[in-house]
């Protein structure tokens, strides 16, 4: 099993606050895929990453990323990742 500290990332340089149709906007499916793409693009994958996401988003964003969280967690678990709370890492 892969060891790694994943605490729900949202990022890899992407924004949940960008409004659809504006610069910097990425759909939730693009954000989801960018996390999986990054995981496969480097030898260490997401090992050691702290992944952060925010529950809130701007109201104009109807495509809420939090609907993808369960799918993301399940996919990463299927790839051998384990989840830890931040206080367990300190």
Q: pLDDT at position 3, please?
A: 42
Q: Are 67 and 57 in contact (CB under 8 A)?
A: no
Where are the chain's structural domains? 1-90
Q: pLDDT at position 14, please?
A: 54
- Long-range contacts of the stretch 17-21 (C-beta < 8 A, 24+): 17/57, 17/58, 17/61, 18/58, 18/61, 19/58, 19/60, 19/61, 20/60, 20/61, 20/62, 20/63
Q: pLDDT at position 76, please?
A: 94
Average pLDDT, 10 consecutive residues per value, the chain (90 residues)? 40 59 83 90 86 75 87 94 84
Q: Are 25 and 57 in contact (CB under 8 A)?
A: no
Q: pLDDT at position 56, please?
A: 65
Q: pLDDT at position 73, please?
A: 92
């Amino acid at each position: 099993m892969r060891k790694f500290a994943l605490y729900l990332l949202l990022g890899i340089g992407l924004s949940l606050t960008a409004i659809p149709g504006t610069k910097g906007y990425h759909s939730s499916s693009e954000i989801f895929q960018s996390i999986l793409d990054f995981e496969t693009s480097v030898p260490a994958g997401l090992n050691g990453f702290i992944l952060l996401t925010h529950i809130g988003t701007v109201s104009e964003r109807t495509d809420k990323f939090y609907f993808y969280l369960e799918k993301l967690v399940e996919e990463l678990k299927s790839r051998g990742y384990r989840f830890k709370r931040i206080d367990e890492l300190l």
